[in-house]
Each structure stands twice: as C-alpha cells, then as structure tokens.
Amino acid sequence: MVIFGISGTNGSGKDTVGHMLAERHGFLFVSVSDFLREECRRRQLPVERENLRMISAEWRRDFGLGVLVDKAVEAFSNSKEQYAGLAVVPMRNVGEAKRLKDLGGKLVWVDANPHERYDRIFSRQRTAEDNKTYEEFLAEEEAEMHQSGDEATLNMSGVKAMADIFLENDGQSIETFKDAAEAALGFA
C-alpha cells in the first residue's frame, strides 16, 4: 500500500494535498479529524478543537498512539473500491508519524504564512472551531505544536521533525500549489 501522511499548520493546505492525491492519482483521502468530529457529535459535545484534542489523546491512550492511522488503514482495507493508495490527514502526534513510517509511508509537512492561513480558515467558517480571532488561532496552534502532557497529546513540532517532504503553500493559486505538491511527492 502506498500511503502518505500529511501534517502541517492549521489552514496550510493539508486537505488540498490529500484531495489532489485523490483526484489526480486515485488515492483514498481520509481526514482523521472527521473520526474525531463524529465522536464529538456521538458524545453530544461541541465540535471544537479542545474536544478533538481530548478525544484523540483518549483514543491514543486506550488503543495505541497510532490509532488514527490504523482507523484510516482500516477504511482503506474495508473499501469496496480500488484505490492506488491512501492519503491520511492530519498527523498531529509523533506516535501517528511513527505508525505511518512503520507501514512504509511518507510524511509530508505543509506550511504557509500565518496571516494567510487564518484568512483561509476564517473565510470558510465550516464549524464553530473555525470561528476564532487571529490571537486565539495562534494560541491554539502553539498549544498543538508542543506536547503538553503525556505521549498521547499533540506534538506537531515532533511530527514536523520526522517529515520526509516539506511543502510551502505561499499564496499561489490552488492549481499551482497542487502541481508543486504533485511534483514534490514524485508524481510529475
């Protein structure tokens, strides 16, 4: 199985890379955040970053640090469709990155200017988790960058240190960014 784990800062273009792999190369695109959002709704909790972080840490403690990657692989394995590979977004814990690499996967880090990223998130306003001030956005991201508890908590800086491929989404058009990502991932 060809598998890419995609990580990066909030609003940097991680989903865009995953969608590009799905659209252009026949990959199954799995957002593990969707698993967490679904669990929030099941528990009747507000779908907010704090709750997503809490549930992801709980699952890692209960089912292993690579549980979200394993859930994505399970979705790939159970799919009745044939896919060329699996794109998993986002990787936010070192255990997830290690699990990805144990499976032979490549880890991609996506970044962009923080003001641009905030504007992207604010303009889409999909959920309450996207309704933050710029200062709140930066504070939440800082909290996610560094481990604040046991090994089950988020540690995006640790994930970044493990990345194989780095992409900068510097404000070009979406298609230009997809083309650059495609080349960096070895498809062009």
Report which secondary-structure segment, H or E, holds 70. Answer: helix 67-78
> What digits encode the pLDDT tens for the residues 103-143?
999 999 999 999 999 988 887 665 555 577 899 889 888 88
| 105 closest CA partner among 19, 11, 21, 13 | 21
**Amino acid identity at 82:** Q
Band of pLDDT at residue 179, cut at 50, 70 and 90: very high
pTM of the entire predicted model: 0.90
Share of the chain above pLDDT 90, in %: 74
CATH number of the domain located at residue range(s) 3-180 in this protein: 3.40.50.300
Q: What is the CA radius of gyration of the chain?
A: 16
